[in-house]
A = this chain, B = another copy of it.
């Protein structure tokens, strides 16, 4: 890896009646979905859940050179679209209008956050 990855953090609500379903889905994410993310240069993608606040928080690192292109490739992938169709009903985005991403809606389904601190020790490579 020639340079440090760029980090992305984002947040979305997890619907209270979908917690078990969401956890089960994410305990065995479809291999083609993971493969598409890897091909799109996403690494160390982690999702945390805060039960008290009903929120999901994600962190990932991007090691490519064309973020918009790589993310478009994710969004255009038919298996990923099917994956989103089962995940979207579990979530309530903070700011969204219109059809969800699986139906072609554009925007930040997951709300981006601002990085206010990093310790200066980013990953230098990934498994």
Contact = CB atoms under 8 A, between A and B. Distances in A.
A45 interface: yes
Interface majority SS (helix, strand, loop, mixed), chain A = strand
For the complex formed by this chain, how many copies does it contain in all?
2
Given A48-B9, A50-B11, A57 B113 contact: yes
Nearest to A7: B46
Given A126-B123, A127-B124, A59 B43 contact: no
Contacts of A115: 46-49
A125 B114 CA distance: 25
Interface residues of A, number: 47
Given A9-B57, A11-B57, A94-B53, A48 B114 contact: yes
A23 interface: yes
A55 B26 CA distance: 24
